[in-house]
Amino acid sequence: MDHFLYALVICTIVGVAAWLVVIQRRETLRAKEEREEIEGEEQRMFHFLHGLGESLQVDSSPPNMHRYIVNGVAEVVNADGGILYLLDNPENPELVPVFQTERAAPIIPLPVDLFELEGLRQKRRLRSFLQLTTIPRDNGLLGMALDAGQTVYIEKLLDSPAFEGSANPLQQNLAVLLAPLVYGQKEVGVLAVVKNSGQTFSANDRDVFGSIAEQSSFALGSAIIHAEAHEKRRLEDELKRASEIQRILLPKKPPGLRDYRLASAFSAARLVSGDYFDYVPVDEQRFGVAIGDVCGKGIAASLIMAMCRSTLRNNAVGNLSPASVLHAVNRAIFPDIREDMFVSLLYLVLTRDSNEIRLARAGHEPPLVFRKCSGEVETVEPPGMAAGIDDGEVFERSLVDFPLSLDSGDLLLLYTDGVIEAANALDEEFGIDRLRETLAASASRGAKAVVDAVSESVADFVGKAPQSDDITLIAVEKR
């Protein structure tokens, strides 16, 4: 019996020892597998980062970056799917999906109709929904990730408060990793990956994912800046070409008329201008002079002014009524002009061997007349509303031809509001009184002297303050 007990104890000890060896071997094997898994993941991460740098050099366009980052990070952490959201509008920020992997990453609440579909139809509907759905910056898991400022891990998606009460089978047992993408101090977006079927992300997965997200933020930020710079250069080139075309449309020099001397000056506040002036042959005995200003600046204003120029020129030939010409301009632009825009215009017709001028004013700045005999400056204020406000009836009733007589030595000055509203560093405007004084002091020296004197006076008054509006001047001197 004693021998039997002794043998039993020995067998038990040996069995336990053998079991311990098995356990130890298993633990060693598991540790080895985990170590190999971690090493493999780190190698994939280094490969991803190296490839990211090369991808930036080859093609730094945002779409290429989006594709490389989402597919790459999903591969590194062995995720089943991934998706990238970027913020679009700074004033009303929304997260816009820009790329998702072939297998969907449904990390936002899904519509009920998806559950009623099956197979390929459900897959296509799911991808379409995720691709087209934007999320307000402060909503759901995406907003939570941005607010957290660090990697967020959710082991079961439907346990998140954002999915409270949901029993969506497409999101059951879904583990999610999210990371905010921040470049400098600017929020760029959110990167997310998922694992299905109850699989989880390890602590090492989370660390690696966080590192990749940081590098991806830099890459995306660089790509966005590069794309914005490229787009800015493209727009600047287009604006320069538009400016060149617009300047081609302006008169190179005033017409040579034996009864009148004309001079003009034009200065745009931007590359393209809303100001306009033109000299138009009417017939063998008459010549038209036009000046205008679109309420607004930039491309939109320059396009409207181009329409005005074309219509005015088409209707000026053989037409002795300035009002009739401006009526046609108003009818042409009214259907296409924005409600917050209008155009002020002044058009006059000079006749050879005559002191009489006929003009029409559509809401434009009233011209000034210097009378040589008295040395006084008069304001000429024909009636008329601006073009583009009314479709025709009221406009045409308010705007009629206005006769004006100029004697030898008299001088008529046309100008846009950029002259009198030019402001200095103290936000004081040049004003109509300074314009009248400058005209009176320089009119005796002729049309060009007036234009030069007014231009110099405005420049001296404004000093180093930036030009805020386009400036156009036309002087008409009766010989």
Residues 189, 95: Cα–Cα separation, whole Å? 7
The predicted structure's pLDDT at residue 16: 41
3-state SS of 210-264?
HHHHHHHHHHHHHHHHHHHHHHHHHHHHHHHHHHHHHHHHCCCCCCCCCCEEEEE
The predicted structure's pLDDT at residue 44: 64
- DSSP lists the bridge partners of residue 182 as 187
Torsion, Cα of 316, 318, 323, 328 (10° steps): -50
Regions of the chain with pLDDT less than 70 = 1-60, 165-167, 238-239, 242-246, 248-249, 271-272, 296-298
Rounded to the nearest integer, the mean pLDDT of the chain is 85
Which contacts qualify for 159-168: CB closer than 8 Å, 24 or more apart? 162/109, 163/109, 166/109, 168/109, 168/110, 168/115
The predicted structure's pLDDT at residue 460: 96
Distance linking the first and last C-alpha atoms of the chain: 147
Residues 46, 321: Cα–Cα separation, whole Å? 78
Tokens of 270: 């931007």
> Concatenated DSSP letters for 439-457?
HHHHGGG-HHHHHHHHHHH
- The structure's pTM equals 0.59
List the domains of the chain with CATH numbers.
Answer: 31-226 (3.30.450.40), 251-478 (3.60.40.10)
Do the Cβ atoms of 370 and 377 come closer than 8 Å? Answer: yes
The predicted structure's pLDDT at residue 40: 59
CA angle centred on 405, ends 400 and 407, rounded to 5°: 165
Q: Which of 202, 183, 181 is nearest to 79 (CA)?
A: 202
The predicted structure's pLDDT at residue 265: 94
The predicted structure's pLDDT at residue 83: 96
Tokens of 250: 């302006």
